[in-house]
Chains A and B, each alone.
Chain A
Amino acid sequence: MTDIADIAPLAPATPARGGRRLRLTRAGWVGVAIIAFWTSMALLAPVLPLPAPNASDLAALANPLPSAAHWLGVDLSGRDILSRIIWGSRTVLTVAPIAVAGATVMGALLGLLAGYYRGAFDSVLSRISDVILSFPVIILYMIILTRFGASALNIVLVITVTKAPIIYRLVRAMTLELAGREYVAAAQMRGEGAAYIMLVEILPNARGPILVDVCLRLGYTTIAIGVLGFLGIGLPPPTPDWGGMVRETYGMISLYPHMAIIPCVAISTLVIGFNLLAVGLRRRTRRG
């Protein structure tokens, strides 16, 4: 009774089109290279032949401009700028990923719940996220960090809370759409629990846009951390911190511009790196 003939031959496996392997555009790879550069600098900081980031070379103060001894010059306290930049990258590259990871986990979970259950729960969460998003972030940072102190933990927490609503909105919208797919109904019909449906059936299909957004959030968080440092509510001195470096030296910008510009360039390159990666990922996910 079997119509053996009607079995269509297997379509050839096409790894080029397979959605599982991550593929990037050229711009995306440039972003990866920039991020990899800063990550390796941060990791290698202890073994690189650098002066200690907080050691003052008072002799160099006579001529703080870049020299053979201090490749990027020294700051107002005679500290080596190259060393402080490299040690400072450790701050950004620890705080930003942890804060964004926190925001992503929180935003994605709440977004899944709101999009899957809808109703009053969704309304309440969505209004709360609207309130957070409409509040001027800088003022929120200042209130919270001056009240509770500028520790690394508090910075992570405040960024988590302010970035989570953005991820929440994205995941909620995708969940609303994906929950109507037939494979979700099929899962319900075999008796899967709500947690399984949200995490295994829905979330993986939202991963492309989430990944893109995470990269964008990393860029914005890098800026936010710089701003906190610049406002003096970042990590307390003398911890090397890019934003703090700008704050300490911007008064001298007409005399010794390199002191403020070099940390600014560091911040910009890292932000551009994250953005390029996001763009590169977006192109690919849109096509798939």
Chain B
Amino acid sequence: MAEPLLRCEGLTVDYGAGEGLQRAVEDLSFHIDRGEAFGLVGESGCGKSTVALAIMRYLGSGGSVSAGMIRFQGTDLASLTPSQLRRLRGAEIAMVYQDPLSSLNPVMTVGRQLMEVPLLHRTRDRRQARELALGALAEVELADPESMLGRYPHQLSGGQQQRVVIAMALIAEPSLLIMDEPTTGLDVTVEAAVLALVDRLRRRHGTAVLFISHNLGAVGRLCDRVGVLYAGRLVEEGPLRQVFDNPRHPYTRGLLACLPSVDRDRRSRRLVPIGGALSEASRLAVGCAFADRCRHAVDGLCTGQPILLEPVTDESGHSVRCVLSDRLPDFRWPAEDASPLTEGIAAEPVLTAIGLGKRYDLPRPAGGRSSITALQGVDLQLERGRTLAIVGESGSGKSTFARIVLGLTVATEGEVDFHGANIARLSIGRRSRDLRQRLQMIFQNPDSTLNPSHSVGYALERAVSRLHGVRRSGRRAAVARLLQLVQLPAALAERMPDELSGGQRQRVAIARALAAAPEIVVADEPVSALDVSVQAAVVNLLQDLQAEQALSLIFISHDIALVRYMADQVALFYRGHVVEAGPADAVFAPPYHPYTRMLLASVPDPFARSTAAGPREAGTVSSQEGGRGCPFAARCAWRVDGLCSEVDPPTLEPSDGHRIACHLGLQELPRDIAST
């Protein structure tokens, strides 16, 4: 058999030494053939980034490869001298990291950074290097490569920056491209475009890709084979479709079962979180590291003896590290255990936005003023006990809407009707306690949602006493009740936030928002910073609490699958405008607004059978200012020249309560989401 491009054999990586020794990766073996895309998936802390660093020999002083070896094109990487290694990096193996800005030098133009690579690795003159740089920019499908050469990184959008980084990685024509979470932090449509680009490039140049991600959908889009890492060990490996369609390891099954999917909502399926958490003890255990979270685990069989990665019977190339895999029942989607719903409650509106707008005035250095429109003409309605999901890319105004509702900022036009009062211009300082108590918020970032100087108990006590006026004697009981509500042990009240996991902190934040039995809770990306298994548990908690307390929820998210799962009503924001709104079932079914269609086509869904390429990024958001016309016109494939960018689109009503703002007639609107 021919030697694969990259082969890891029994790779073990440790950080620290002696008592502080931490095993990040243990006995990892896999290979990547020439031109193949291999996906490495796992949750945070599973060691996936360490693998990339070990291959590049970038582990630093803290980490070391303590066993095993990495062979690249037949050469043991550990045997290379520093100068041989330098030649290898960049020329043969290139790396793309998560944050493009940290890979780009802010004080150098894109052109100089691109030209550096050929100038360093091959003896080329400047003119040739410039030609190469131009070619690379054209290849990553950036418009107007000539002017791009002269730009600085901060003048580019996130998607453009990541394209430049990819161009830099590919310019020396490496045979292996390592990508560590390259699309995390990008908007879905941009992510889809970047993934499609990488896929085209690797097919054209025969570049092998090691794609590291927590996002199963993204891996599913790009990869031929996939490996699942848990606690530093490869628990399952094989061809993509075999692993995703017929997962043999309980952990892989768990990961798949806790994902929401675009074509399923909570009426048909409840997310199934993986119970427990990875503990340090099980990480060090001799047997299966997943045993204490696995419901199939058998004492003595799964623990106490080393468990090997063994081929799955009847499936070539598919192996699994589980002694029970042959005895496990076939993988089925979790039973039709629907989440509790609030449909018994009569649909009456609790909050109505009418023509809501927000403009920020910016003083101009040259004198005079200019303004940025963050929100314009937003009409929305939230019904009691229901979930209104707000979807949009970064900068679409979805957070501005939430902040106006909560009084953290005030609107410049329009109104928000709440029980007959207009609260659009009522800042938080001018709101009565009663009003504040009825509208609460769950924040996005688990690291800054709780004050690191205050214990969990103090944070909750304060919320209870300020919003509910609970007396000192009753506070302790109220805190215990709140913790119980979010399924946390009462002892947690003594802990400081830095002693909690991200999921636990987000639960405390939910408890804090619910301290005074609010009517409306605004959740701004409440789970986007959490691992999928934790995310599922927090989503379920939110759903249960909503059903129990008849909460009305404004759920802000960029995750379409999650929105599909959670929402009763959906509103799609694009550059401050609502382009489509209505009942979730109607919005996610044809006809679509062209933007909705683009979003749906971009969702990386591991359950999708085809690896159809996503839409190309048809232009990027232009900086045109508060002008007339359809906000989406610049990126729209159905654009009617001379109409869309000039005249405000009319509102179409394909069905009751379903609104689409578009110049296309009802019959002309896109109806399928297959690639164009």
Sampled A-B contacts (8; CB under 8 Å): A8-B277, A8-B534, A13-B495, A17-B498, A182-B445, A183-B459, A186-B509, A189-B440
Q: Which of B21-29, B180-188, B195-203, B461-469 faces chain A? A: B461-469
The chain B residues found within 8 Å of chain A, CB to CB, are: 273-277, 279-280, 340, 406-408, 428-429, 431, 433, 436, 439-441, 443-445, 448-454, 459, 462-463, 466-467, 487-489, 491-492, 495-496, 498-501, 503-504, 509, 512, 515, 534, 536-537, 540-541, 544
Contact A7–B488 (Cβ < 8 Å) = yes
- Whole-angstrom distance from the CB of B455 to the nearest CB of chain A? 10
Q: Are A11 and B433 in contact (CB under 8 A)?
A: no
**In the complex, which residues of chain A have a beta carbon less than 8 angstroms from the beta carbon of B280?**
12
- Of the residues A1, A14, A182, contact of B443 by C-beta under 8 Å: A182
Residues of B within 8 A of A182 (CB): 443-445, 448-449
Question: Are B273 and A190 in touch, CB under 8 angstroms?
Answer: no
For residues 1 through 43 of chain A, which have their beta carbon under 8 Å from a beta carbon of chain B? 1-14, 17-20
In the assembled complex, how far is the CB of residue A185 from the closest CB belonging to chain B, in whole angstroms?
A: 6
Smallest Cβ distance from B266 to chain A, in angstroms? 13
> Are B448 and A7 interface neighbours, CB within 8 A?
no
Among residues of B, the one whose C-beta sits closest to the C-beta of A194 is B429
Chain B residues lying within 8 Å of A190, measured Cβ to Cβ, are 436, 462-463, 466-467, 515
Which residue on chain B has the smallest CB distance to residue A19?
B498
List 20 other contacts, CB 8 Å, given A9-B279, A13-B499, A205-B451. A3-B540, A5-B273, A5-B275, A8-B277, A9-B277, A11-B499, A18-B496, A19-B496, A181-B448, A182-B443, A182-B445, A183-B450, A188-B429, A189-B428, A191-B436, A192-B462, A192-B466, A201-B451, A204-B454, A205-B453
- Complex CA–CA separation, A207 to B453 (angstroms): 10
Find A11's partner among B406, B487, B501 (CB 8 Å cutoff): B501
A interface with B by C-beta (< 8 Å):
1-14, 17-20, 181-183, 185-192, 201, 204-205, 207
Q: Which residues of A contact B512 (CB under 8 A)?
A: 186
Q: Quick one: which of B429, B436, B453, B462 has the most chain A CB within 10 A?
A: B453
Assess the B496–A20 pair: CB atoms within 8 A: yes
| Contacts across chains A and B counted by CB atoms under 8 Å | 108
Determine the residue in chain B with the shortest Cβ distance to A190: B466
State the majority secondary structure of interface residues on A.
Answer: loop
Chain A residues positioned under 8 Å from B534 (CB to CB): 8
- A8 in contact with B463 given A3-B540, A189-B436 (CB within 8 Å): no
User: What residues of B have a CB within 8 angstroms of the CB of A13 in the complex?
Assistant: 495, 499
Interchain nearest-CB distance for A36 vs B (Å):
28
Assembly CA distance A14 to B496 (angstroms): 11
CB < 8 Å neighbour of B499 from A9, A18, A183, A201? A18
Are B452 and A205 within 8 A (Cβ)? yes
Q: Give Cα A258–Cα B274 distance, bound, in whole angstroms.
A: 75
Question: In the docked arrangement, what's the CA distance between A3 and B279, Å?
Answer: 19
Distance from B107 Cβ to chain A, minimum over Cβ atoms (Å)? 24
Q: Would A3 and B273 be within 8 Å (CB), given that A10-B489, A188-B428, A189-B436 are in contact?
A: yes
B606 to chain A, nearest CB (A): 21
Q: Which 5 A-B pairs have the closest CB atoms?
A: A5-B275, A204-B453, A6-B537, A8-B277, A182-B443
Instruction: Judge whether B275 and A186 touch: CB under 8 Å.
Output: no
The residue of chain A having its C-beta at the shortest distance from the C-beta of B450 within the complex is A183
| Nearest B residue to A2, CB-CB | B487
Q: Distance in Å from the Cβ of A53 to the closest Cβ of chain B?
A: 45
Whether the Cβ atoms of B436 and A3 lie closer than 8 Å is no
**A58 CA to B275 CA, complexed, in Å:** 86
A3-B428 CB under 8 A given contacts A17-B498, A183-B448, A205-B451: no
**Is the beta-carbon distance between A6 and B275 smaller than 8 angstroms?**
yes
- Would you give the shortest CB distance from A176 to chain B, in whole angstroms? 15
How far is B484's CA from A4's CA once the two chains are assembled, in angstroms? 11
Minimum CB distance partner of B440 in chain A = A189
Distance (Å) between the CB of A265 and the closest chain B CB?
Answer: 39
Say whether, besides A186-B449, A205-B453, A6 and B443 are in contact (CB < 8 Å). Answer: no
Q: How far is the CA of A2 from the CA of B544 in the complex (A)?
A: 8
Report chain A residues within 8 Å CB of B408.
Answer: 185, 188-189
Chain A's closest residue to B487 (CB) is: A7
Shortest CB distance A284–B (Å): 14
Q: Which single residue of chain A is at the shortest CB-CB distance from B453?
A: A204
**Identity of the chain A residue whose Cβ is nearest the Cβ of B512 in the assembled complex:** A186
Q: Is the CB of B491 within 8 A of A10?
A: yes
Q: Which of A7, A9, A13, A189 counts the most B-chain CB atoms under 10 A from its CB?
A: A189
A6 smallest CB distance to B (angstroms): 4
Give B451 Cβ to nearest chain A Cβ, in Å. 4
* A13 CA / B301 CA spacing, docked (Å): 31
A8 touches B496 (CB 8 A): no
Given contacts A8-B503, A185-B408, contact A191 B467 (CB under 8 A): yes
Q: Are B340 and A185 touching (Cβ within 8 A)?
A: no
CB distance from A149 to the nearest CB of B (A): 43
CA distance A191 to B450 in the complex (A): 16
Report the Cα distance A192→B466, complex, angstroms: 8
B-chain residues with CB within 8 Å of residue A10 when the two chains form the complex: 489, 491-492, 495
A8→B436 contact, CB < 8 A: no
Q: Which of A6, A11, A20 contacts B273 (CB 8 A)?
A: A6
**Are A6 and B540 also in contact (CB < 8 A) when A19-B452, A182-B445, A183-B450 are?**
yes
**Is the CB–CB distance between A3 and B537 below 8 Å?**
yes
- Which residues of A sit under 8 angstroms from B462, Cβ to Cβ? 190, 192
